[in-house]
Amino acid sequence: MSEILQPQQSDAQLKNYDQLKETFHWDDIHSVFSWHETGNVNMAYECIDRHVDDGRGDHPALRYADSSREETYTFADLKGATNQAAHMFRRLEVAKGDRVFIFMPRSPELYISLLGAIKAGAVAGPLFEAFMNEAVRSRLEDSEASTIVTTPELLERIPYTDLPHLNKIILVGDQVPQDGPFYSYFNEMKASPTTDDAIEWVSLEDGMILHYTSGSTGKPKGVYHVHHAMIQHYQTAKWVLDLHEDDVFWCTADPGWVTGTSYGIFGPWLNGVTNIVRGGRFSPDDWYHTIEKQRVTVWYSAPTAFRMLMAAPKEIIEKYDLSSLRHILSVGEPLNPEVVRWGWEVFGLRIHDTWWMTETGAMLICNYPSEPIKPGSMGKPIPGVHAAIIDDQGKELPPNEMGNLAVQTGWPAQMRKIWKNETKFNEYFSIPGWYISGDTAFRDEDGYFWFQGRNDDVIVTAGERVGPFEIESKLVEHPSVAEAGVIGKPDEMRGHIIKAFIAVRDGYEHSDELKEEIRSYIKNELSAHSVPREIEFKETLPKTRSGKIMRRVLKAWELDEPAGDLSTMDDN
C-alpha cells in the first residue's frame, strides 16, 4: 500500500472535491468574467484591465528581476502598456487572427508584447529564446507569421529574407537597421496612446495562442488555443495553485513553453495576483534569493529543478529565509516521492504534482491542497474533467491496470486544432469521445493516477519536451552523418537525456572530436536543449524495410532489454 499524506491546508479554496466532481460544470463560472453578458471577450483584458476596473489598479502585477534590472508594474501600469502595444500592432496593420511571434529572453517587454498582441486580436506565438535558425525558421514558416517581436541580439537567427509572410520585425533595442522591415519597439510604443480602443473584442472560440511542441514523427506541431481557455486557467489557478488576492506567485517556466503562459501569465493574472518573473539562468542561490526577496508564497516549478536544488550543498539553502512559502507545485515529468520527502524536510511543505500537456492547455490531473496526496501519484482529475485508463479499443480498464491515459473531450482549454495539420489533430481523437494523451498510466482503487511512461518516442528531458524527429533530421544534414536515431535515456537528474545513435559516412572516424562537432552543430542549428548529451557510433542502425529507423530497438539496446517483434526489421 502506498503512503498517504494528509492535506496541509484547511482553508484551501477547493472544498468538497467529491461533491464538486459530481456537480460542477464549467458554465457555472462564466459569470466571473465581464464578457458573460455580451459574449465579447479578450483574454488580455480579463488578465489585466478587469482588476483596474475592480479598484485594484495599484496592486503590483509584475515584479521583474534579473542581474541588471529590477522593475515593478501595477495592474494600472500594465493596462496602459498593453494598450500601447495593442495600438502599436494595429498601426503596423496586424489584423485579427494574424500570428505575432514573440522571440526574446524573459523581460517586461516580452509580457507586454504578448498580452498586447492578444489585445489586438492576434494569435501570439511565443518562441523560446534558445532556438537557433532552423528551429525559428520552421516555426515561422509553418505558422506564416506576419510579425515578430525580438531583440537585436536574436535577429541573426531569423532568416527573414526566406520568409515571405514575415514583413514586420519589431526590435526591442535602440538600434534599428535602416533597410528592411524593421521597427523600433520603443519608438512605436512611445507613439501609441494608452487608451483601450485598440482592444479587439473576439468570441470565446477565436484564436489566442499558438505553442509549437514536439511529436515523435514529424516537424513540431502548432498547438492552437482559443480565448475560452481562460475559464480553466482561472479556475485551476484557484483550486490547484490555490491563489488568493494577496499571494505572490512564482512560476519558473519560460513563456516559450506552455507552463510559462498558462500559469506564468494567464492563471495568476486572471486571479489578480502578483506575478514574479526572474530573468537569467538557473542557480540555487538565485532561486532561493528570489523566494526570500520577493516573499514568494506559491511556487510552481519542475522535478528537474527540484532535483538540482536537492543536489546543491545544504549550506546554500540554510542562508535563506524561505518562510514566506505556503504552497509548492510541480509539473512536466514524474515527481519522485524522494523529492516530495525532501520538500517536506526543507520547506515543511508537500510538493504537489500536476499533470497536463501543451495540447490540453491547462491542468487536468492534480494533487490539491485540500486532499490527501500519495507521493508518486499525479493525483486526481479536476472537477469538470473525466479521465480514465482505456485500452486501444476505447474500453475503460479496471483499477491498477496499465493502459492509455485518456480524457473525455470537451474541457475549456483543450486545443482547437493543430495548425494546418488536421490529420495530426485527428490522431489524438481516434477513439470517439476521448482525447488520447500518448502517456501510459494506471488508476488505483482510490481514483489516483500513476504515470508510467510515454507510448510514443517523445522525449521529456529536464521537463522540456523534445521530438526525436527534428533532431534526427538535423543530424543527417551534417556531412559526416549517414543515419541517426535519437532516443531518451533514463537519467537520475534530468528524467531523460537525449542520446543519438549515429552511423557515419565513409571516410569519417568514430572520434570524440566528431562527437563534439556534431553536438555544437545541433546547438547552433536547433537549440541547446536539443543537443544529444550522449552520442554512440554504430556501423548501421536498425531499420524497417521501408527505411524507418527503429527507435524501439535502439531503446532496447540502451536498456539491455529484449527488442520485441523484429519481423519488420530489414536485416541487410
Binding window for ligand WTA (CB under 6 A); candidates: 104-112, 152-160, 354-362, 486-494: 354-362
Q: Facing residues of 71 across strands?
A: 64
* DSSP state string for 229-288: GHHHHHHHHHHTS---TT-EEEE-S-TTSHHHHIIIIIHHHHTT-EEEEE-S---HHHHH
Q: Which parts of 250-279 interact with ligand WTA (CB under 6 A)?
A: 257-259
Report the distance separating Cα 275 and Cα 374, nearest Å.
Answer: 29
Q: Which of 92, 357, 407, 459: binder of ligand WTA (CB under 6 A)?
A: 357
Find how far residue 319's CA is from the centre of its chain.
31
The enclosing H or E element of 115 equals helix 108-119
Report the distance separating Cα 383 and Cα 371, nearest Å.
Answer: 13
Q: Which parts of 98-117 interact with ligand WTA (CB under 6 A)?
A: none
Closest to ligand WTA by CB, 80 or 361: 361
Binding window for ligand WTA (CB under 6 A); candidates: 2-10, 307-315, 347-355, 496-504: 347-355
Binding status of residue 355 toward ligand WTA by CB under 6 A: yes
Report the distance separating Cα 142 and Cα 165, nearest Å.
Answer: 10
Binding status of residue 437 toward ligand WTA by CB under 6 A: yes
- In the bound complex, what is the minimum distance in angstroms from residue 339's beta carbon to ligand WTA? 12
Q: Which of 154, 208, 210, 331: binder of ligand WTA (CB under 6 A)?
A: 331
By rule CB under 6 A, what count of residues binds ligand WTA? 22
Q: Which parts of 358-377 interact with ligand WTA (CB under 6 A)?
A: 358
- In the bound complex, what is the minimum distance in angstroms from residue 257's beta carbon to ligand WTA? 6
- In the bound complex, what is the minimum distance in angstroms from residue 405's beta carbon to ligand WTA? 8
Report the distance separating Cα 275 and Cα 180, nearest Å.
Answer: 36
Q: Using CB under 6 A as the criterion, what x/- string covers residues 193-232 for binding ligand WTA? A: --------------------x-------------------
CA angle 46, 271, 232 (to 5 degrees): 75
Q: Please identify the residue of the shown chain whose CB is closest to the bound ligand WTA.
A: 358
Binding status of residue 356 toward ligand WTA by CB under 6 A: yes
Count of C-beta atoms within a 10 Å radius of residue 452: 15
Q: Facing residues of 154 across strands?
A: none
Nine cell digits for residue 467:
521530438
Q: Which of 334, 383, 412, 542: binder of ligand WTA (CB under 6 A)?
A: 334
Count of C-beta atoms within a 10 Å radius of residue 423: 8
Cα-trace Rg, the chain: 24
Binding window for ligand WTA (CB under 6 A); candidates: 349-357, 422-430, 467-475, 476-484: 349-357
Binding window for ligand WTA (CB under 6 A); candidates: 191-199, 385-393, 431-439, 553-561: 431-439
Q: Which of 117, 132, 378, 389: binder of ligand WTA (CB under 6 A)?
A: 378
Q: Which parts of 443-482 interact with ligand WTA (CB under 6 A)?
A: 451, 454, 460, 465
Find how far residue 396's CA is from the centre of its chain.
29
Report the distance separating Cα 568 and Cα 61, nearest Å.
Answer: 57
- In the bound complex, what is the minimum distance in angstroms from residue 530's beta carbon to ligand WTA? 14
Report the distance separating Cα 29 and Cα 271, nearest Å.
Answer: 13
Binding region for ligand WTA (CB under 6 A) = 213, 257-259, 331-334, 353-358, 378, 437-439, 451, 454, 460, 465
